[in-house]
């Protein structure tokens, strides 16, 4: 899996409801086991696995430094928290080139699926062909402008596929 060239962060998009994207998860890291901060977004695959980017835990690959929040548009409150049992990076992940920058977060406890705000993602089969100029939707926790960096919201950004 080749990586796209690194670009600047996307700032903008629109605030949205977690119910529109109930498969979204917030991977959070701690420095002191007391306070946590949002590190990366992820996608709920099933009640024990989250798909995310391997670079999210590359520098701190110890599972007990992380937790996952599901079911909340706020990265710092609401929803349900789950401890992480294991961080599994793609075996050919390359931090320098960002190739194969994918991994699985295995949960210590089962995620309760089925509510309006917590569901597993529907994954397309390998033979799905996406037409040119289709909209690509990116979701995650971010800011609407550089001046609002202290307030992190659950957001959606839509861009045409090139």
Transcribe 96-108 into DSSP letters: TT-TT--EEEEES
pLDDT tens per residue across span 112-129 = 999 999 999 999 888 988
Q: Are 85 and 106 in contact (CB under 8 A)?
A: yes
Average pLDDT, the chain: 88
Question: Cα 22 vs. chain centroid, distance in angstroms?
Answer: 12
Domain ranges of the chain: 23-107
pTM over 0.75: yes
CATH for 23-107 is: 2.40.10.10
List the Cα angle 45/155/132 in 5-degree steps. 75
C-alpha span between 111 and 124 (Å, rounded): 22
pLDDT tens per residue across span 34-83 = 899 999 999 999 999 999 999 999 988 999 999 999 999 999 999 999 99
Residue 10's pLDDT is: 57
Residue 34's pLDDT is: 87
């Amino acid at each position: 899996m080749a990586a796209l060239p690194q670009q600047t962060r996307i700032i903008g998009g629109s605030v949205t409801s977690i119910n529109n994207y109930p498969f979204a998860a917030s991977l959070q890291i701690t420095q002191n086991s007391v306070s946590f901060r949002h590190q990366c977004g992820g996608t709920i695959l099933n009640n024990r696995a989250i798909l995310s980017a391997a670079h999210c835990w590359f520098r701190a690959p110890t599972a007990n430094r992380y937790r996952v929040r599901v079911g909340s548009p706020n990265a710092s409150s609401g929803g349900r928290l789950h401890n992480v049992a294991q961080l599994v990076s793609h075996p050919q992940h390359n931090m320098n080139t960002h190739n194969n920058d994918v991994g699985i977060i295995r949960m210590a406890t089962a995620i309760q699926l089925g509510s309006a705000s917590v569901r597993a993602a529907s994954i397309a089969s390998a033979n799905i062909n996406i037409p040119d100029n289709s909209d690509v939707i990116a979701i995650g926790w971010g800011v609407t402008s550089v001046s609002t960096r202290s307030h992190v919201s659950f957001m959606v950004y839509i861009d045409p596929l090139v």
